[in-house]
Structure 1
Amino acid sequence: MNPSKTALLVMDIQNGIVGNFAENPEVLIPIQDSVKAAREAEIPVIFVRVAFKEGYPEVNLNNKMFSAIKESGSMTETDWSTQIHESVAPLSGEPLVTKRRVSAFAGSDLEVLLSGLGTEELVLTGIATSGVVLSTLREAADKDFRLKVLSDACIDRDPEVHRVLVEKVFPRQADVLTASEWADSLK
């Protein structure tokens, strides 16, 4: 693996989403460890969040999930809920990509950024395994990226859905390993 052709995606690790796991903050440790390992190996770390412009012009009422967010009046670009959680805060110069749907590619400039970096391989982390990780993995595979998923650096509210995805679905399109296995492979 050529680290310069790899990027770590840290997806939806933002205040409003991490808050759903407040009773279990140790679930963030593998994500923190993967960010640290990437930085030490000089692999670009790209932060991805979901957020909307004031007034939610991107939200169609036919979209069940996002129309509910529009009605709640939260998740705008400036809201506290859409800011990256302090436990993995971006360093100066680390990109923050704002997406408008579930996949990290949807409504964002991620693909252009990855092209500019010469990225060929993506390492995926995020909340939720059944949301952003699944959607991004599928789209990235269709875009011919090599893929790795850090199984313990992905979180889902439903442990069984997480297990099925990382054990049965993701291996069809990605290498699945733990954050520590990935960190060890960089040394």
Structure 2
Amino acid sequence: MTTLTDRPRAALLVIDVQNGVVSGAHDRDRVVATIAGLVDRARAADVPVVWVQHRSDHLPADSEQWRIVPELSRRDDEPLVHKAYGDSFEDTDLESVLAAARVGRLVVTGAQTDACVRSTLHGAFTRGYDATLVADAHTTEDLSAYGAPPPAQVIAHTNLYWSFQTAPGRTAGTVDAAEVDFAA
């Protein structure tokens, strides 16, 4: 149970599913389709969908690379958080967006597994949120040329270690998209 008082709601967090982030991502089409299904389910359950969009020298604001992939569409009434750092909470309005919606539990999806997804999970958890990673709804690019494991191993390792996260008064873990329960 979250340590954030009076925050009974869950939210679906969609991190950096942008053209320039996922263009070469592992299993891109399946992951994006899985996220789209979760977005539909969250909307049907009246669960907030919060979109996170990264900007950098490689993802300049308003460029094609910066845009959310065409398979996903954000509704005008859904929050959009702009960020410039890995952790979606760092120097953004994400905390105030979640507080206004009384959200204490995050269901996390997106890209890249070994960067922004992981940073945001840890950022949420240390700030008192319950944080569930959707095991089959995050991805990363192949950085093995730089010494990283292949993307499937990065994803598997992140799912493994996040399934064992613990801290007083908070829950963490992984779940497949088919098992996501926004009401739990």
So what's the TM-score if we normalise by structure 2? 0.82
Post-superposition CA distance 1:18-64 (Å, at most 9, x none): 21239852231211111111011010001001115xxxxxxxxxxxx
State the alpha-carbon separation in 1 of the partners of residues 27 and 114 from structure 2. 20
In 1, Cα distance between the equivalents of 2:59 and 2:28?
23
| 2:165 corresponds to which of 160, 163, 172 | 172
Answer yes or no: is 1:151 the counterpart of 2:135. yes
Give matches, 1:38-49, under 5 Å: 38-49=42-53
Which of 127, 135, 153 aligns to 1:160? It is 153
Output the CA distance in 2 between the equivalents of 1:168 and 1:93: 34
Return structure 1 stretches of 4+ with deviation > 6 angstroms: none
Q: Which residue of 1 aligns with 2:118?
A: 134
- Residue 125 in structure 1 maps to residue 109 in structure 2: yes
Unaligned runs of 5+ in 1: 53-69
Residues 106-139 of structure 1: CA deviation (Å, up to 9, x unaligned): 2211011111111110110011111111100111
Distance 1:80 1:50 in 2: 13
- What amino acid is aligned across from residue 26 of structure 1 in structure 2? R
Q: Does the C-alpha gap of structure 1 residues 140 and 19 become closer, same or farther in structure 2, counting only changes over 3 Å?
A: same
1:13 aligns with 2:17: yes
Match of 1:93 in 2: 77
Q: How much identity, in percent, do the aligned residues show?
A: 28
Amino acid in the other structure paired with 1:159: A
Q: 1:86 & 1:108 partners in 2: Cα distance? A: 24
Query: SS in structure 2 opposite 1:86?
Result: coil
Letter in 2 for 1:168: Y
| 3-state DSSP of counterpart to 1:148 | strand
Please tell me the residue identity of whatever aligns with 1:79. S
Query: Amino acid of the residue matched to residue 164 of structure 2?
Result: P
* C-alpha displacement of 1:147: 1.3
What are the equivalent positions in structure 2 for 1:46-125 lying under 5 Å apart? 46-52=50-56, 70=57, 74-125=58-109
Pick the structure with more helix per residue.
1
**Where in structure 2 are there 5+ consecutive unaligned residues?**
2-6, 142-150, 167-171
**Alignment length, in residue pairs?**
166
CA distance in 2, matches of 1:24, 1:168: 22
